[in-house]
Amino acid sequence: MKKNDYIKKLFMKEITVLEEAVNYLGQNSHDRDEILQKYEELTHNYKRLLEITKKICTISDTQGTNLKRREQDIKNLLDNTSQGFLTFGENFLVDREYSSECGRIFKKRISNVSILELLKSENQEQNKLFQEVLGGFFRDCDFEDKVSLLAKLPVVIKINDSFINVNYKPILKDMSEQDELSLMLILTDITEKRKAEDEVAYLSYHDKLTSLYNRTYIENIEYQLLSSSNFPLSIIMADLNALKLTNDVFGHEAGDRLLKNMADVFVSCCRKKDIIARWGGDEFIIILPNSNKEDCLNVISRIRDACFNAGPDPIHLSVSMGSVTIENMESDIIGFFSAAENMMYSNKIEERRQTRRRIISDIEKVLYSKCYKQEDHISRVKAAALEFGRILGYEASSKEMSELEMLAEFHDIGKVAIPSEILDKRGTLSHDEWQIMLKATQIGYRMAQSIDEPLLAQSILSLRERWDGRGYPNGLSRNGIPLNSRLIAILDAYDVMTHDRPYKKRSSCTEAAGELQRCSGSQFDPELVNVFLQNLSTIYHV
């Protein structure tokens, strides 16, 4: 039976006794002798006592209810603080857990469990520290000494793969009574905060795109590198070729892919202890501890081989590199960085032609894969251009003939960035599609600029200019249009007209010649049209 129910029953019984006594006293048949007077007084006092007791019990019940409500409110508050609260005494057994967070942190009920067991980890030194400090805390010593002891304990520990911040709070009701001493631990899960801090720290020293170290990291450790344990120390500066070209032609997503592929090659060709960082936009630095000049050259060779063997994505990897080796600590590492960088740029200039040819070859292959008849078209225009140039008086080995041949080969290169569905569309292009197609010469211009061919770039840009000044993109007219652009425009138009296109059947040679004659003086240079038509059989062997 509950205590409150028992008290209520007892009160009801005593009230019944009181009522019987009062009724007895109210009967006139009794003499009011001295005993009766005493009995009357007793019952009167008893009545008062019961009334007072009833009030006290009522107050006690109210206070008990309020106390329970306050206790529940405090528990709810603690449960919603995302913190665990527990206390333990000299026996190290948890006597109470004050919030549900304790169960989440330890993944079990912890009442009467040893705090040493709960805080135990793989770190034996930490386990020993807890045992010594907590044991000392409950021994006889000044309160200030106890607080000093607690300061030796770690404030962040790992429990069940979570990082927990621990706050240690001594609880001492009476400074003179050791039995009253206990210790409260306030536990806060900071795992997510720790992850966020680790991520910020990671990003501050790593390149987000490639996951390599960044320049900030290298600058922070550059003087630490000059340690005797690292010598000989070699440095490689590397510059990724054609990044701008890739961004311009294929988009920045393809450029990012090129950077990540390059980073993967560096990682695959180096040791784990080597330091690889993205130094700038398209530049990388590789630091090789305990590597002499020969070791360094071997790494460079492995990188070149890996680039050569990697497939195009969208073009082959190509990188220019320069290196230096530091033999002792009496060195200026910044100066060595500069020396490696200068050598890299020098090598880049020497390798320019070879690099350019491979890049252009990759782009041509992409274009041919998008337009299956494009390769034949280029071959025909190129052969016709060489014959036309000879007729105009160009020497076979002259600079003019070389520039004309290059323009014939690359005049349509900007189409590589045009979607295949537009290039191969059967039927008339919409306004928006035509606007995309018009960008081909501008894209070709940027590509030629990227491979350091300014004259070629200008000639490609001017291919859609008209003799009457109504062309694009700059509205050039007459001799303001580069000669080679005017020449290739005629050859390109004739070849396109005399071969099948997705949207139109081919015209006869006579029909194509008539169309050139009709557009002479408006779209095309009239003098060049006349020369072309007079020598058509020689130029096209028809």
DSSP annotation string for 392-409: TT--TTSHHHHHHHHHHH
Measured CA distances, 347 to 17, 130, 343 (Å): 117, 61, 6
Residue 46: what pLDDT?
62
Q: How many CB atoms lie within 10 A of CB 346?
A: 12
Residue 415: what pLDDT?
87
User: Mind listing the pLDDT tens digit for each residue in 233-279?
Assistant: 999 999 999 998 888 888 899 999 999 999 999 999 999 999 999 99
pLDDT-flagged residues of the chain (< 70): 1-11, 13-15, 17-22, 24-81, 173-179, 372-373, 502-503, 542
Whether the domain at 83-195 and the domain at 363-540 fall into the same CATH topology: no
Whether the model pTM is above 0.85: no
Please name every residue paired with 163 in a beta bridge, in sequence order, or none if there are none: 158
Please name every residue paired with 85 in a beta bridge, in sequence order, or none if there are none: 186
Q: Return the CATH number of the domain spanning residue range 206-350.
A: 3.30.70.270
Residue 74: what pLDDT?
46
Please name every residue paired with 156 in a beta bridge, in sequence order, or none if there are none: 165
**How many whole angstroms separate alpha carbon 457 and alpha carbon 460?**
5
Q: Return the CATH number of the domain spanning residue range 83-195.
A: 3.30.450.20
Q: Which two tokens stand for residue 429?
A: 């292009």
Residue 18: what pLDDT?
65
**How many whole angstroms separate alpha carbon 226 and alpha carbon 221?**
9
Dihedral in degrees, nearest 10, Cα atoms 221, 222, 223, 228: 100
Sign of CA pseudo-dihedral 106, 112, 114, 115: positive
**How many whole angstroms separate alpha carbon 118 and alpha carbon 106?**
7
Residue 9: what pLDDT?
66
Q: Does domain 363-540 have CATH number 3.20.20.150?
A: no
Ordered DSSP codes for 294-345: HHHHHHHHHHHHHHHHSPPSSS---EEEEEEEE-SSSS-HHHHHHHHHHHHH
Can you list the pairs that 452-458 forms with residues at least 24 positions away whose Cβ atoms lie under 8 Å? 452/352, 452/356, 453/406, 455/403, 456/403, 456/406, 456/407, 456/410, 458/482
Measured CA distances, 422 to 70, 431, 438, 465 (Å): 75, 12, 12, 22
**How many whole angstroms separate alpha carbon 115 and alpha carbon 183?**
11
What's 427-468 look like in SS3? CCCCHHHHHHHCCHHHHHHHHHHHCCCHHHHHHHHCCCCCCC
Residue 30: what pLDDT?
54
The rounded Cα 243 to chain-centroid distance in angstroms is 20
For 503, how many CA atoms within 13 A lie in the half-sphere containing its CB?
Answer: 11
User: Mind listing the pLDDT tens digit for each residue in 43-67?
Assistant: 666 666 666 666 666 666 666 665 5
Pairing of strands 213-214, 275-278: parallel
Residue 6: what pLDDT?
58
**How many whole angstroms separate alpha carbon 255 and alpha carbon 117?**
55
**How many whole angstroms separate alpha carbon 336 and alpha carbon 232?**
13
Residue 73: what pLDDT?
47
Boundaries of every domain in the chain: 3-71, 83-195, 206-350, 363-540
**How many whole angstroms separate alpha carbon 238 and alpha carbon 340?**
9
> Which residue in this structure is represented by tokens 């329970």?
68
